[in-house]
């Protein structure tokens, strides 16, 4: 359109804003609040506990698993946000590319969102169908560890072609880890899922700020090494995720109810989405706090 580079990047922001508003309006108009229906109807039918926002947030914030997932999400979505900011500058400075070429290459990182995040959630569901929560945790750990390894390889890549290939693989595991994270979230404490999802999601922004400071204070190589090491370390945290009624990564056993649920999920005859049933004890505690 003949705009200057400074005006062009500002003007192009109109496109995602318009698409976001349009999609948001459609979602508000035609979607349900949850797989089982709208919240008002679920509360009337007794399938959803009436919980105050304060009680829900307190229950989510006091659950140790929430903060472990917070850190892990910081090391996947936080990494994505960091790469969105740093990738173009990195390619421009390291390989002496034009701003346009560097931005085009960096955009490949975001394009992986078209499939990889959904694949991460899909594989998490399949792992759950075979192994229950242990399967979800193993897939989460694999995604994070391989993501971290790809960052370390990327930091040591001196060829443009190799850097692009490694970045695409790296991005795929970043998005897959994001999808697998939210395959775990609904099981942590079902009556407080909204608050837990919000806290875990905030981990992504926190991670972006933390890694962004690293890129500001260190050179690219050191920043990437630090980021990759943190990601691998976050994968180890899966060992400490222990959700009531579910097996951990290497310890514990699923309850009979959990086994029945995930075996049913894996049955060929199952054609509807299965979601975690509310923890009656946790729901009762929240109701008492809400009273």
Q: Which pLDDT does position 59 carry in this prediction?
A: 93
Check the CA dihedral 109-234-237-73 and report its sign: negative
The whole-model pTM stands at 0.83
Three-class secondary structure of residue 249 per DSSP: coil
Q: Which pLDDT does position 290 carry in this prediction?
A: 58
**Using an 8 Å Cβ cutoff, are 277 and 36 in contact?**
no
pLDDT grade for 38, boundaries at 50, 70 and 90:
confident
Three-class secondary structure of residue 251 per DSSP: coil
Which region among 172-186, 193-207, 244-258 has the lowest average model confidence (pLDDT)?
244-258
Check the CA dihedral 16-19-24-30 and report its sign: negative
Average pLDDT taken over every residue of the chain:
89
Question: For helices 220-236 and 133-155, what crossing angle results, to 10°?
Answer: 160
pLDDT in tens, 210-253: 999 999 999 999 999 999 999 999 999 999 999 999 999 999 88
**Using an 8 Å Cβ cutoff, are 108 and 232 in contact?**
no
Q: Which pLDDT does position 286 carry in this prediction?
A: 59
The secondary structure element, H or E, covering residue 233 is: helix 220-236
Q: Which two tokens stand for residue 274?
A: 């299965």
Question: For helices 280-290 and 53-61, what crossing angle results, to 10°?
Answer: 130
Region 44-57: what's the mean pLDDT? 81
pLDDT in tens, 250-268: 998 888 888 888 776 544 4
pLDDT in tens, 118-145: 999 999 999 999 999 999 999 999 999 9
Which region among 3-17, 111-125, 272-286 has the lowest average model confidence (pLDDT)?
272-286
pLDDT grade for 273, boundaries at 50, 70 and 90:
very low
Q: Is 2 left (phi over 0), alpha (psi -120 to 50) or beta?
A: left
Q: Nearest CA to 201 among 78, 103, 287, 35?
A: 78
């Amino acid at each position: 359109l003949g705009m200057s580079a400074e005006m062009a990047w500002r003007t192009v922001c109109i496109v995602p804003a318009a698409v976001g508003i349009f999609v948001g309006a459609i979602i508000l108009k035609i979607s349900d609040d949850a797989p089982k229906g709208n919240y008002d109807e679920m509360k009337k039918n007794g399938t959803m506990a009436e919980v105050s926002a304060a009680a829900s947030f307190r229950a989510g914030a006091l659950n140790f698993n929430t903060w472990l997932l917070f850190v892990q999400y910081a090391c996947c979505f936080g990494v994505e946000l960091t790469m969105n900011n740093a990738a173009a500058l990195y390619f421009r400075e390291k390989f002496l590319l034009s701003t346009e070429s560097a931005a085009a290459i960096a955009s490949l990182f975001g394009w992986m969102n078209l499939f990889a995040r959904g694949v991460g959630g899909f594989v998490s569901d399949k792992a759950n169908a075979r192994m229950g929560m242990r399967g979800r945790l193993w897939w989460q750990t694999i995604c994070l560890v391989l993501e971290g390894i790809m960052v370390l390889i990327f930091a040591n890549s001196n060829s443009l072609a190799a850097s692009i290939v490694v970045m695409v693989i790296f991005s795929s595991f970043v998005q897959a880890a994001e999808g697998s994270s939210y395959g775990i979230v609904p099981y942590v404490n079902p009556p407080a899922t909204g608050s837990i999802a919000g806290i875990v999601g905030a981990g992504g922004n926190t991670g972006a700020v933390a890694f962004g400071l690293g890129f500001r204070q260190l050179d690219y190589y050191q920043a990437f090494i630090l980021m990759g090491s943190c990601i691998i370390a976050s994968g180890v945290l899966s060992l400490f995720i222990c959700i009531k009624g579910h097996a951990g990564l290497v310890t514990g056993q699923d309850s009979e109810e959990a086994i029945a649920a995930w075996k049913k999920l894996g049955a060929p005859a199952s054609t509807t989405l299965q979601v975690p049933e509310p923890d009656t004890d946790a729901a009762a505690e929240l109701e008492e706090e809400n009273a």
